[in-house]
Structure 1
Amino acid sequence: MDFSQRLQQISANPDALTQIGRGLEREALRITPQGGLSAQPHPAGLGSALTNKWVTTDFAESLLEFITPVSHDVDSLLTQLSDIHQFTYSQLDQESLWPMSMPCFVGKEDDITLAQYGSSNSGRMKTLYREGLKHRYGSVMQVISGVHFNFSFPDEFWQQLFGDQAEQERRDSVSDAYFGLIRNYYRFGWLIPYLFGASPALCGSFLNKSASELNFEQVGCGTYFLPNATALRLSDLGYTNHEQSSLKIGFNSLDQYLEGLQRAIRTPSEEFAS
């Protein structure tokens, strides 16, 4: 069965394509009126960063993360994200949210305070985990912001695509289908930043902390841009881990993927040995 036949088969049930679950996770730095990184703790009005399921922090105390509930239509999803933003701004006093993925001005790495989650064991473990990230990759790279788009197909989709199946057979079919989707994303995902990427600029303080030899040009006071760039966050200068490129984790099956993860966990890295 080719793609057009599968699509025709699925579209016979309207719920198969209209009930897709979608969710967004958006990260943003809190900044001062002067445009610098906020040194203030997580705003009390936003609740506990450990237990608030809509507004929390990511790597740093100043790096907010907004998480929407699962929605089945795009308008509701964007409305939920807008509501979370509006509530957050009502609790920020004089601060604002940095709109770019690459960080605002950061004077020293020590200016970046690790996210704090309280004195409970789980809260202390979350902060300790970020301490490890700081030593491995540096704090500046960890405050690069992003937007994560999560989605899942409804049961009606799989029923229309595969028909009646035993429970384990259905699980295997769904896993194989999702891995096929992942492989296609790796094939065609570059089109998204190529067509829609629009973040070719960053603060000069970030370049001072990198070993980049790219030919950036300056515009204004302290802003540098790379002509013809699309998304610096996704470049070698952005949020990357070159050590992972040698792991070769496969996506042809669940077994292959899990075997690759197990091998990666047990593979020592000379770069991070000390």
Structure 2
Amino acid sequence: MAAGQDAGGNGSDRAKPTQGGVQSVERTFELLELMADAGGEVALSDLAEASALPLPTIHRIMRTLVRTGYARQQPSRRYALGPSLIRLGETASRTLGSWARPYLAELTEATGETSNMAVLDGAQIVYVSQVPSQHSMRMFTEVGRRVDAHATAVGKAVMATMPEESVTQVLNRTGMHPQTERTITSVNGMREELARIRELGYALDDGEQEVGVRCYAVAIPDAPAASAISISGPEARMKRIAVNDVVPLMRRLATDLGNELSATGEPA
């Protein structure tokens, strides 16, 4: 899903096959994405309403997904995402992280601080790549760690590119629990924060996830998944960074990375 795209999707838009695509494959991925948007579990009627596909078509696709392990049918007759997706997701995350590392390395070299790439997955941020600072006191976020979007610079950077309705859905699903006394815990407060981010061109985590930690982030434009890059470090050291100098660098690197990630790689 590209940054700025409605996380909830639109059934009529999804139902349109792309030129040169295989319709059955497109429909299969459409249903998987709808299931993910719904939190991983849906009824056939929900899929029919959201996708505008005929119910027999949906039923046939779901039977195939269940047989191959990419979906499972619950005792309630609802369908859930299946365990076979886990291996695909883990492999994709490692590949995504390897693509991001050269860009993060340049950012760390220029700033001296830890750089990260993170992706919005449902209502949470997942860190997929990191290049650590060489300082003895540095920030370390385990790759694969999941955190609520509202308390992170990367999460706020991503949400600033999304429609308001989708942002509200993300915030309502996590509950906006306070991580520190500085965490923004109201939807209206977050709306004001996202408006500032759009105006400034970057997001700030000022001790909102961890006390004493400061982080700057920018969204990755045109990426196939809503994502962002960031730098983070101890508050005192991060305050010495010239934001007006580092943000243009971050935006350039994010744009270059987004261009690489969005390349289709289709054969000529």
Q: State TM-score, norm by structure 2.
A: 0.24
Which protein has the bigger helix share?
2
Q: Highest Rg: 1 or 2?
A: 1
Q: Which has the higher contact order (CA 8 A, sep 6+)?
A: 1
